[in-house]
Amino acid sequence: MNKAKASSEKSVSASSRTISLLSQLEKINSDSVLGESDSARHVTSRILHLVQSQEKTRKEMTSKGSTGIEIILSTLENTRDPQTILNILNILIEIVSVGGGRRASVLVTKGGTQILLQLLLTASKDSPPNEELMVLLHTLLAKVGPKDKKIGVKARINGVLNISLNLVKHNLQNHRLVLPCLQVLRVYSTNSVNAVSLGKNGVVELMFKIIGPFSKRNTSLMKVALDTLAALLKSKTNARRAVDRGYVQALITIYVDWHRHDSRHRYMLIRKGVLQCIKSVTNIKLGRKAFIDANGMKILYNTSQECLAVRTLDPLVNTSSLIMRKCFPKNRLPLPTIKSAFHFQLPVIPASGPVAQLYNLPPDVDDVVDESDDNDDAETESEIETEIDDDKDQHFKNDDIETDINKLKPRQELGRSIEELKMYEQFFPELSENFQEWDLVSKEPKPFVPDANLSGPIVVPTASEEHSAEAKPSTKGIALKECSPLLTEEYNRRPVFLELPKKDNMKSSSLHQQNDQRNMLPSCQCLSQEIVKGLDRISLQNSAKNDQYYGTGCVVEKESKAGITTLASSKPFEHVSPCGGSLFEGSSVQLGKLCCTGVDSEEEEDSRSSSSGEHATLQISDVSPVHDCDLYLEMVKNTKSIPEYSEVAYPDYFGHIPPPFKEPILERRYGVQRTKICQDIERLIYQNDIIDRVVYDLDNSSFSVPEEADVLKFNSKFESGNLRKVIQIRKNEYDLILNSDINSNHYHQWFYFEVSGMKTGIGYRFNIINCEKSNSQFNYGMQPLMYSVQEALRCRPCWTRVGTDICYYKNHFSRSSIAAGGQKGKSYYTITFTVTFQHKEDVCYFAYHYPYTYSTLKMHLRKLESMHNPQQIYFRHDVLCKTLAGNSCPLVTITAMPESNYYEHIYQFRNRPYIFLSARVHPGETNASWVMKGTLEYLMSNSPNAQSLRESYIFKIIPMLNPDGVINGNHRCSLSGEDLNRQWQNPNPDLHPTIYHAKGLLQYLAAIKRLPLVYCDYHGHSRKKNVFMYGCSIKETMWHTSVNAASCDLMEDPAYRALPKILSHTAPAFCMGSCSFVVEKSKESTARVVVWREIGVQRSYTMESTLCGCDQGKYKVLH
């Protein structure tokens, strides 16, 4: 019979046997007959055998639809037989030991955690408790617990917290039992209430008994004990208890012992476990102080330096760095105030908001005070080498998405009466122009024609790639070398003015007062070396201070041509050659003291001069057709800055061309950020090595530039410049502090400054220490820009990407709560980069991005206006309004002239749809201006596509919405101290005149039923790559929320996606995947949303251009 039975069992599949055994076990449970314990014991032992021997059985018991786990748990809950319990526990351990966490999760969902905790409570009442049962129970709880988020609460409610703790206390030498008990305590301790409760019962002291003193015995037990201790010390109460008992010193000692004895690095997990304990205890102020007092900074610094040579020890180095950064004493920013170094009194003080708070601060308040000690918990950092871009635009927060459909639906609200809006009629003469006084067919059209053979201005994705070099006004007798035969050709090709009869308001009267000969002469002035050697910087003499002008009304006036700029400096330069004196003919010229020494004699062979007797020359073909050095100086003279700048930056004066080579995104060297942080930590450890000398200070009016030869000289006192203070830290290392936006105490990101007095072959480290954004593209390949005057004089006037060892990280300078919007303990961030200069005693300029000043814009507009053919292109340059500082906000109109003055052609001209473009509302986003420059040049070109656009649309363009912010080197705000792109809902005509009147133009178009087909606001993005757009869509907004029911019935024209889609197919830098059409609450007062919602423009966009480069398409990995 037994043989037959065995044969029968072999023929049955394993699956059938499992099902059969589970059925038997279920029947035993339901019968509950006395004496069935033997049967349960027998069945569970057979199931255990199958589970141990066959993976298929384990899968079947946890598969979807299987009742195996329920049957097993039901038996465990009901049986009282010790052996059956042990069998079932072993079955469950086998099931959850493999297959990842999914099987443990199945056990949790079936109520397994509660049953196990009840069994633990019951088993603890036995005296003495069954050791085997306790080992198995704790082993299973340790595996299941991490998958049950509520296990801590369940353990506390069931009263089992101290059972595991008491088992450890009474069985310290029984490592087989202590190990799983510690694992369960680690799980319990993830709940802060449990951690405090266990701490009161002596668990912290118990852990230190296990982990010390140093011993290589039972390392697995020590590892678990350290993990448990690290979890316990995350509780402030337990951390304070550890500090009070001197355990911080003990942890440092233990770490040093393991570091010294683990020469083969076999116990890295234990060493990291000790560091995790130190990391947890230093989350509190007392812990950080105890760490410093125990000389922890120097110890961890030295041990981490010894680990650098072994790559596998990087986790130890990284954790040590995190601890040292956290414990580095927070310093106050070395400034008298975090408010801007420049003051501008507002005509109206806002009733509320940050600006109102700023003005209401008592004068004696210390707004730079270090309040970091008030914050007990230090901010947690991510691992050093795995920073994650936390760009909030990438992942929308549901609570920031507008879910009220009534608010989302566009509703045309003019907000101003028709009578009031009539003031804007004067900006739309094209709607009433009849051209009867124009001879529209008398001559061949001759617009400005960029030549494809000549290089030109910086090429941007939206600009035409065909630009020419245009001849610029020069002066008599300048030492010029015609280094290209194209000069004469360009001279002859240049279009001349067509003297046609026209209305006064079509052209600026001042434009016709320009000297015709001046307009025909070449624009590139290549200075003789004698003049160059005397050139330090160009400055403007302030003959009379301009009174502040508060103009908020609309002003219809043309930009009048400024008088000849007067140059001045500290003393006349006596060695100027006769021919050089005519550089600024008609001006009083005095060149500054010798600083820039021109072309280095020892590097003469590298320059483009073929002999010492030749002057430095610049290829005429390289000069931008819209750059004019003399005209730039004239524009600067009428630019009103709050500091009343008297100097002009050389790159802005001389201009620049694109570098002749591709500039790839920098590949970051491994460990560079860690290295920089270690060097910062050395400041605390080796304080005697720190110079700590101020070498530039805008706050100190009596500050004089150091004269020492080995100290760099800095300057930012020019248009768009931003650098407030410089402190020399080491011989070749400098901390740089940026100026906040005027009438603000933050927004530090844009920088633009001059450096001189350098030597070659030396790596100079620059640290910009008061940035605020939590991450930057400087961590992902972006490099700062540098312009070398020496290179410019060698016919290479380029802004180039420079710098090595670049990174962006949180530093040890504390932001006050006033600067951090009420939050305490926030830190500033550092941009650090190292530069080795090519030329001795050069004058170099550094910038966050390619600078584009307000004076540059005025110059470009003037040049475009002078070059266009009025027979073919209708071009107007109006002044929309005056800014707070009295600068003009330009308004440009571009379209094609009508074919004739016949009615049909005039009708077509007047009824072309409007395209409304704006840019540079944020001063630090200079790339927006370069994209706008490309747009303007393209629209003014003779490209067939450009001509077609002009014939189809009327372009209304505000190329710079925030002139004051641009002029004064702000990053985000205007002089009102507010982000103008958050003022579109209710702009104040006194505080936000450019926004008030820009919105007024759009409201006027809406009132006369001429809504723009497209509105697009150009921006720059600091944390994303590529070019992309933000638009507005009700449906796509609703898709990102849980409120989908109402959106199902919405009908929405998908035309808002058309323009981005077209760009994604035509512009290599454009990325459709980065576009978003979600309307967020925090963006409801931006131009894009207000123009869409209130004005009713469906195709209302923000176009973002990266400040870094591309990660896709034709320009992938290029800046």
- Could you read off the pLDDT of 873-919 as tens digits, one per residue? 999 999 999 999 999 999 999 999 999 888 899 999 999 999 999 99
- Whole-angstrom CA distances from 359 to 343, 817, 975 are 11, 16, 14
Q: Which of 296-305, 440-449, 547-556 has the lowest mean pLDDT?
A: 547-556
Phi, psi of 925, deg, nearest 5: -95, 65
Q: What percent of the chain has pLDDT over 70?
A: 77
Q: Which of 313-317, 456-460, 1051-1055, 1073-1077 has the lowest mean pLDDT?
A: 456-460
Of the candidates 642, 662, 645, which has an alpha carbon nearest to the alpha carbon of residue 653? 645
DSSP state letter for 990: T
Q: Which of 96-100, 667-671, 821-825 has the lowest mean pLDDT?
A: 821-825
Confidence class for position 296, pLDDT limits 50, 70, 90: very high
Question: Do the Cβ atoms of 451 and 624 come closer than 8 Å?
Answer: no
Q: Which of 478-492, 800-814, 1099-1113 has the lowest mean pLDDT?
A: 478-492
Span 819-833, mean pLDDT? 83
pLDDT at 102: 82
Q: What percent of the chain has pLDDT over 90?
A: 57
Both tokens assigned to 846: 């550094």
pLDDT at 726: 97
Q: Is the pLDDT assigned to residue 1064 strictly greater than 60?
A: yes
Confidence class for position 484, pLDDT limits 50, 70, 90: very low
Both tokens assigned to 559: 């930009």
pLDDT at 706: 81
| 752-756 sheet: strands from edge to edge | 713-715, 752-756, 843-847, 785-788, 799-801
Both tokens assigned to 473: 């006004």
The whole-angstrom separation of Cα 1108 and Cα 1117 is 10
Three-class SS state of 756: strand
The more confident residue out of 816 and 887 is 887
The more confident residue out of 16 and 1115 is 1115
Q: Is the pLDDT assigned to residue 450 strictly greater than 90?
A: no
The whole-angstrom separation of Cα 1081 and Cα 1063 is 27
Q: Is the pLDDT assigned to residue 559 strictly greater than 90?
A: no
Beta-strand (E) ranges in 739-884? 752-756, 763-771, 785-788, 799-801, 804-814, 827-836, 843-847, 873-882
Both tokens assigned to 437: 């006084």
End-to-end CA distance of the chain: 85
pLDDT at 442: 41
pLDDT at 1052: 83
Question: Do the Cβ atoms of 545 and 566 come closer than 8 Å?
Answer: no
Continuous segment of H or E residues that includes residue 1021 = strand 1014-1021
Pairing of strands 538-539, 331-332: unpaired
pLDDT at 368: 83
pLDDT at 809: 93
Three-class SS state of 991: coil
pLDDT at 36: 63
Span 212-222, mean pLDDT? 86
Q: Is the pLDDT assigned to residue 518 strictly greater than 50?
A: no
Q: Is the pLDDT assigned to residue 28 strictly greater than 90?
A: no
Q: What is the mean pLDDT of the chain?
A: 80
Q: Is the pTM value of this prediction over 0.85?
A: no
Catalytic option among 433, 791, 865, 1104: 1104
pLDDT at 840: 93
Pairing of strands 647-648, 538-539: antiparallel
- CA angle, corner 303, sides to 299 and 306, nearest 5? 145
pLDDT in tens, 1070-1119: 999 999 999 998 899 999 999 999 999 999 999 999 999 999 999 999 98
Q: Is the pLDDT assigned to residue 1001 strictly greater than 70?
A: yes
Q: Is the pLDDT assigned to residue 585 strictly greater than 80?
A: no
Q: Is the pLDDT assigned to residue 465 strictly greater than 60?
A: no
Confidence class for position 1042, pLDDT limits 50, 70, 90: low
Of the candidates 636, 622, 627, which has an alpha carbon nearest to the alpha carbon of residue 587? 636
Q: Is the pLDDT assigned to residue 481 strictly greater than 60?
A: no
pLDDT at 391: 41
Question: Is 433 noted as a catalytic residue in this protein?
Answer: no
pLDDT at 392: 40
Q: Which of 826-830, 992-996, 1096-1100 has the lowest mean pLDDT?
A: 826-830
Pairing of strands 331-332, 804-814: parallel
Of the candidates 289, 338, 318, 320, which has an alpha carbon nearest to the alpha carbon of residue 769? 338
Q: Is the pLDDT assigned to residue 855 strictly greater than 80?
A: yes
Alpha helices, H only, 714-802: 789-793
